[in-house]
Structure 1
Amino acid sequence: MNDFNRAYSPGPTGQTMDMSVNEGLRSFMLGVYNKMALGLLLTAALAYAFGALVPESVTLTLLTGPIGLVIMFAPLAILLLSGFVMKNPSPTAANLVYWSVVSLIGVGMGAIVYVYARQPDGMLIVSKAFLTTAIAFGGLSLYGYTTKRDLSGLGVFLIMGVIGVIVASVLNMFIFKSSMFHMVISVVGLLVFAGLTAYDTQRLKNMYFQIAGNARAMAVATTFGALSLYLDFVNMFQFLLAIMSGRD
Structure 2
Amino acid sequence: METKDSEYVYKNVIQLTEQDASRKFIANVFLWMFVALGLSAVCAFTFSHNQALYEMLRDPETGRNTGLGTIVMFAPLAFVLIISFGFQRLSYAAAAILFIAFSAVMGISLSYILVFYTASSVLGVFLTASAVFGVMAVAGYTTNTDLTKFGSIMMMGLIGIILASVINMFMHSTQMEYIISYIGIAVFVGLTAYDVQKLKRIGAGLEYGDASAGKMALLGGLTLYLDFINLFLMILRLFGRRR
What TM-score range do you get, normalising by the shorter chain?
Answer: 0.7 to 0.9
Residues 108-145 of structure 1: CA deviation (Å, up to 9, x unaligned): 100111212xxxxx111101100000000000000000
Q: Is the 1:190–1:239 contact (alpha carbons within 8 Å) kept by the matching residues of 2?
A: yes
SS in 2 for 1:86: coil
Residues 144-174 of structure 1: CA deviation (Å, up to 9, x unaligned): 000000011123222222222122222212x
RMSD, aligned CA: 2.3
Residue 223 (structure 1) aligns with: 218
Relative to structure 1, is the Cα distance of residues 163 and 101 closer, same or farther in structure 2, using a 3 angstrom cutoff? farther
TM-score scaled to structure 2, two decimals?
Answer: 0.84
Residues 12-37 of structure 1: CA deviation (Å, up to 9, x unaligned): x9xxxx98433332222111112211
Q: Is the 1:61–1:67 contact (alpha carbons within 8 Å) kept by the matching residues of 2?
A: no
SS in 2 for 1:110: coil
Residue 4 (structure 2) aligns with: none
Residue 98 (structure 1) aligns with: 99
Residue 12 (structure 2) aligns with: none
Q: 1:48 aligns with which of 36, 45, 53?
A: 45
Distance in 1 (alpha carbons) for counterparts of 2:149 and 2:209 = 27
Distance in 1 (alpha carbons) for counterparts of 2:86 and 2:30 = 26
Residues 155-206 of structure 1: CA deviation (Å, up to 9, x unaligned): 3222222222122222212x10111111111111111111110011000000
Residue 34 (structure 2) aligns with: 37
Residues 16-73 of structure 1: CA deviation (Å, up to 9, x unaligned): xx98433332222111112211111111111111111242523424971443332222
One-letter code aligned to 1:100 = A
Relative to structure 1, is the Cα distance of residues 24 and 213 closer, same or farther in structure 2, using a 3 angstrom cutoff? closer
Q: 1:149 aligns with which of 132, 145, 150?
A: 145
Distance in 2 (alpha carbons) for counterparts of 1:197 and 1:108 = 23
Q: 1:140 aligns with which of 118, 136, 139?
A: 136
- Tell me how far 1:246 sits from its aligned partner: 6.9
Residue 71 (structure 1) aligns with: 72
Q: 1:192 aligns with which of 184, 187, 196?
A: 187
One-letter code aligned to 1:37 = F
Moved more, 179-188 or 128-137: 179-188
Residue 207 (structure 1) aligns with: 202
Answer 1 or 2: which has greater helix percent: 1
Distance in 1 (alpha carbons) for counterparts of 2:213 and 2:219 = 10
SS in 2 for 1:95: helix
Unpaired stretches in structure 2, ≥5 consecutive residues: 1-8, 10-14
Moved more, 124-133 or 24-33: 24-33
How many residues were matched structurally? 225
Q: Is the 1:42–1:103 contact (alpha carbons within 8 Å) kept by the matching residues of 2?
A: yes
For 1:174-193, what aligned pairs fall within 5 Å after superposition?
Answer: 175-193=170-188
One-letter code aligned to 1:190 = I
Higher relative contact order (CA 8 A, sep 6+): 2
TM-score scaled to structure 1, two decimals?
Answer: 0.82
Distance in 2 (alpha carbons) for counterparts of 1:193 and 1:199 = 10
Moved more, 177-186 or 156-165: 156-165
Q: 1:128 aligns with which of 124, 127, 140?
A: 124
